[in-house]
Amino acid sequence: MKRLLLIAAAALTMVAHAQNFPGTKPVTFVVPFAAGGPTDKVARDLAVAMAKTMPGGNFVVENVAGAGGTIGAAKVARANPDGHTLLLFHIGMAATPALYRKLSYKPLEDFEFLGMVNDVPMTLVGKPQLPANTYRDFENYIRANAGKLNIAHAGLGSASHICGMLWQAQLQSKEAMTTIPFGGTAPAMNALVGGQVDVMCDQTTNTTAQIESGRIKAFAVTTAKPLSDHKSLKYYPSLQEMGLKNFDLTIWHGLYAPKGTPAAITTALNEAMKKALKDPEFIKKQEGLGALVVTDKRVEPAEHKKFVAAEIQKIKAAVDASGKYAD
């Protein structure tokens, strides 16, 4: 009887905590990358939108960069599970367990999944001097110049690294290109524009303006279908259309809490997030970044986790095939 009373008391305390959440203590979004980047922008926009949905809520962003996002993620995994420390992470949440054979946390076990926020399409692009103008011609050019071309990315675990790796894994001549890592998207793109590197695969947020200005060439998009509603990228085929089996890649962002965060609090956070995703101002800001706000079942925690689990397996297969790890 005493045990039942204790359980009941604990349950009532949890409900009361959820009803008062977040209270006067701020909710911190930990972004595992430097300020000013795409993930940081998403986090700051979401913080503003979620603050509107929780009366008195104070949402702040903390940048904890390093090691492909693993330092920030590990910090949240170890944080007090009271709902006041959350992680806003992109596709790296699925890439890190493949890239790092010794990881201090387990993405599927050490976090409560709160829901997905957005998707950012990717583009396969090349330096302006390339003679190919279509994706099919581009593939033929790669095979005709095996061992002579290189592909850039913005650093281990970056969106451009993951995209390029998955693309090359499906090419018959996957060893034809040398990988050139850079210390960020800006230097990688500058090298592509300047013709020092041949190819890159990166987010529309980083490539669209360069494509529109003619400073780089675009060959395909990485979504399952062409971006028919995009003002300039609608003219390019999807890689899946071009014969790459089940190729559907976006740089998504999701929200996470430490494992053990009370269900009443994770439910409150999920509801606040879903309301934020319908905020017209938030939607407009995401569109300005070239991102698509998630409206499907992945906004629910269980579906979010199911999706990430599948992404982990997909990326792990590509990493293992390449034999190139971060540690």
pLDDT of residue 18: 62
pLDDT of residue 7: 41
Based on C-alpha coordinates, what's the Rg of the chain? 21
Give percent of the chain above pLDDT 90: 69
Q: What is the pLDDT of residues 264-309, one digit of tens each?
A: 999 999 999 999 999 999 999 998 888 899 999 999 999 999 999 9
Would you state the structure tokens that stand for residue 285, as one six-digit string?
């800001």
Query: What does the alpha-carbon distance between residue 25 and residue 208 come to, in Å, rounded to a whole number?
Result: 40
122-235 — its CATH code?
A: 3.40.190.10
pLDDT of residue 175: 54
pLDDT of residue 25: 93
Q: Which residues of the chain have pLDDT under 70?
A: 1-19, 172-176
Matching fold, domains 17-120+252-322 and 122-235: yes
pLDDT of residue 9: 41
pLDDT of residue 3: 46
17-120+252-322 — its CATH code?
A: 3.40.190.150
**Sequence ranges of the domains in the chain:** 17-120+252-322, 122-235
Backbone angles phi, psi at 214, to 5 degrees: 80, 15
Contact (Cβ atoms closer than 8 angstroms) between residue 92 and residue 252 = no
For residue 28, give the nearest of 66, 65, 75, 69 by alpha carbon. Answer: 75
pLDDT of residue 1: 53
Contact (Cβ atoms closer than 8 angstroms) between residue 94 and residue 184 = no
Query: What does the alpha-carbon distance between residue 113 and residue 120 come to, in Å, rounded to a whole number?
Result: 20
Would you state the structure tokens that stand for residue 107, as one six-digit string?
């993405």
Q: At 150, is the secondary structure helix, strand, or coil?
A: strand
For residue 156, give the nearest of 175, 183, 196, 178 by alpha carbon. Answer: 183
Q: At 271, is the secondary structure helix, strand, or coil?
A: helix
pLDDT of residue 10: 44
The length of the chain is 327
pLDDT of residue 170: 84
For residue 180, give the nearest of 169, 188, 172, 170 by alpha carbon. Answer: 188
155 conformational bin, left if phi > 0, alpha if psi -120 to 50, beta if neither: left
Mean pLDDT, the chain, whole residue set: 90
Bridge partners of residue 200, in order along the sequence: 125, 152
Would you state the structure tokens that stand for residue 118, as one six-digit string?
């957005």
